Amino acid sequence: MPSPATVKLNSGYEMPLVGFGLWKVTNDTCADTVYNAIKAGYRLFDGACDYGNEVESGQGVARAIKDGLVKRSDLFLVSKLWNSFHDGPRVGPICKKQLQDWGIDYFDLYIMHFPIALKYVDPSVKYPPGFTDENGKVTPSNASIQETWTAMEDLVEKGMCRSLGVSNFRGQLLMDLLRYAKVRPATLQIEHHPYLVQEGLVKYAQDEGIVVTAYSSFGPQSFLELDMQQAKDAPLLLEHPAVKKIADKHGKTPAQVLLRWATQRGVAVIPKSNNEGRLKQNLDVLEWDLKDEDIKEISGIDRALRFNDPVNVSPAARTYVHRAGCCCFLLMRMVAVRLPSTYLGVE
For residue 214, the one-letter residue type is A
In degrees to the nearest 10, what's the CA dihedral of 335, 341, 344, 347? -120
The rounded distance, in Å, linking the Cα atoms of 140 and 132 is 10
Distances (CA, A) of 128 to 24, 53, 95, 109, 131: 13, 10, 13, 20, 9
Q: DSSP assignment, residue 189?
A: E
SS3 content of the chain, % helix, strand, coil (to 5): 45, 15, 40
Please name the residue ranges forming H helices in 6-115. Answer: 27-40, 54-66, 88-102
Q: Is 51 one of the catalytic residues?
A: yes
Burial class (CB in 10 A: 0-12, 13-18, 19+), 26: exposed
The rounded distance, in Å, linking the Cα atoms of 25 and 94 is 21
Q: Are 41 and 14 in contact (CB under 8 A)?
A: no
CA angle at residue 69 from 54 to 71, to 5 degrees? 70
**Which residue from 82, 80, 84, 81 is spatially nearest to 137, judged by alpha carbons?**
84
The rounded distance, in Å, linking the Cα atoms of 214 and 226 is 19
Task: Give me the catalytic one of 51, 195, 215, 320.
Answer: 51
Give every CB contact of residue 202 below 8 A, 6+ residues apart in sequence: 190, 192, 212, 265, 267
Q: Are 120 and 143 in contact (CB under 8 A)?
A: no
- Active site amino acids: 51
